[in-house]
Amino acid sequence: MKNDNWLEWAVRLQALAQNGLAYAPAPFDRERYEEIRDIAVQMLEAPSGLPKDRVRELFAGEEGYQTPKIDTRAAIFKEDKVLLVQELNGLWALPGGWCDVQESILSNTIKEVKEETGFEVEARRLVAVLDKRKNNQSNTALRVIKHFVLCDYVSGDFVANSETLEARYFSLDQLPELSQNKTTEKQIQLCYQASKVEHWEAVFD
């Protein structure tokens, strides 16, 4: 039996419990859904090594119907080189992050680039919408849908910030060590292909 099954089961139980709590007004039903949610938290408590309260905060702290999280990533190319940012752990990724509730995919992509690099960019084309668990290393119980957006550099220089150490362009055949849970070589190559054609049909899974 694969250990990944436990994560899938816990995520599914949590989603069922959260959806039940959102729509079940009867006290008896709510008690049962709370119990299911508690089981899901316990399933993650031991392997994660985190206190139960912390697991509940991270994994089961939301209300309302369970939906995936949205992540946006900007692909910016210059002379066939791709712009990557170095995270605090030393690994590299396309600039991006969680989509804030007040932002759209387009505006969040531009905002994240500005925050992590200091660059002003123009979002030009949606390249792909991909399920993180199917395409990246996943170190979270949350379901994440990643949006890759082709952008054009407009202006600006790197500005020191609390999220990234530096921003640099890399040749596609000389990529640094990537943060695989955020960006893979295959995803960079896909974005590069999209930058080279006049018409592109977004990839999704």
pLDDT, one tens digit per residue, over 11-65 is 777 777 777 777 777 777 888 888 877 787 787 776 666 677 766 665 666 666 6
Residues 54 and 73 in one domain: no
What is the domain range of residue 176? 69-204
Phi and psi at 198, nearest 5°, equal -75, -40
Rounded-to-integer distance, Cα 5 and Cα 92, Å: 29
Of 43, 31, 42, 108, which is closest to residue 69 (Cα–Cα)?
108
**CATH code for the domain in which residue 83 is found:** 3.90.79.10
Domain count of the fold of the chain: 2
Residues 137 and 170 in one domain: yes
Instruction: Output the six-digit token pair for 205.
Output: 């899974």
The predicted-structure confidence for 99-112, as pLDDT tens digits, reads as follows 998 899 999 999 99
Instruction: Output the six-digit token pair for 125.
Output: 């084309």
Residues 89 and 169 in one domain: yes
Residues 156 and 200 in one domain: yes
Residues 16 and 97 in one domain: no
Indicate the pTM of the whole model: 0.78
Phi and psi at 57, nearest 5°, equal -65, -45
